[in-house]
Amino acid sequence: MIGANLFRTFANKSKTDAHAQAAQMISAISQLSLANSAEFTTSDLRSGASFDNFKANWGRKFSIGQFDSNVDCSYDHNANKGGLKDVKLSGNLVDGSGDDLNVGYEVTRRFAGDAGTDVKLTASTHGTRFGVDLNSEDQLKEVSAQRSVNVGDQTLDVSPSFLVKAQTARLKLASAFGKDRVNAQVDYGVEDKSATFEVGYQRDLDNGRSLSATLTPADKNMEVELVDNKFEDGATWTATASVPLEDAKDGAKLSLKRVWAW
């Protein structure tokens, strides 16, 4: 009789503990935030403005136990009119701050075009960030590193990487000068010994506006963007001019983009 009572007491306690653990797990998987945005773009205004594309992004941030994660979904009318473009899950496997090790992941499932899965792993420690990109088609896609270094009074962002399938070494450099920021990218083909580059400039204007220009000599093209966050409350407008260097007068194209949160 005593043994039976002890068994029933233990069984009831086990059920209570199990329910408590389940409740804790459910409360741990809680929604923390919601971020949604949408955008539309026009075709070339010089040829008559019309709708060109519509995109939307929505995501949720949640936690499972001690791990914070994000789920982001994106829609692209031109890429996949009848469904999602992709779904991305991201977060940290190891949370670290300062010089401590931080390990992050990003898994993206693509549904449009060449459907497949992309995986990006990053590790940051002592001011240096390392990255590995993989996908279901090419396996290892890219390896990279990023670090900010001081050159005199300037801080220079240095990002070397290697594109495995293209057999291309890439170097990105960027630095800020007050309201101005300049950047450059150099690609070197290991097999054909070719080199291409592009340079960019951005300036912070007053009243929530910025102006940027990117020159790509290999394509003989320059792109200029004006971004305005104050033109309309709750929305960002971007005017983009694509100017071919050999036919700037007749070949230039101008388009608009509106991005807003919802």
- Domain ranges, ordered by start, for the chain: 27-41+51-137
- pLDDT band of 34, cuts 50, 70, 90: low
pLDDT value for 213: 98
Residue 1 has pLDDT above 70, yes or no: no
- pLDDT band of 95, cuts 50, 70, 90: confident
Task: Give the lowest-confidence range in 47-61, 66-80, 89-103.
Answer: 89-103
Report the mean per-residue pLDDT for the chain.
87
Task: Give the lowest-confidence range in 7-21, 108-122, 223-237.
Answer: 7-21
Residues 162-194: pLDDT tens digits?
A: 999 999 999 999 999 989 999 999 999 999 999
Strand runs (DSSP E) across the chain, as ranges?
30-42, 51-64, 67-76, 86-94, 102-110, 116-125, 128-135, 139-151, 154-163, 168-177, 180-189, 195-204, 209-216, 221-232, 235-244, 253-261
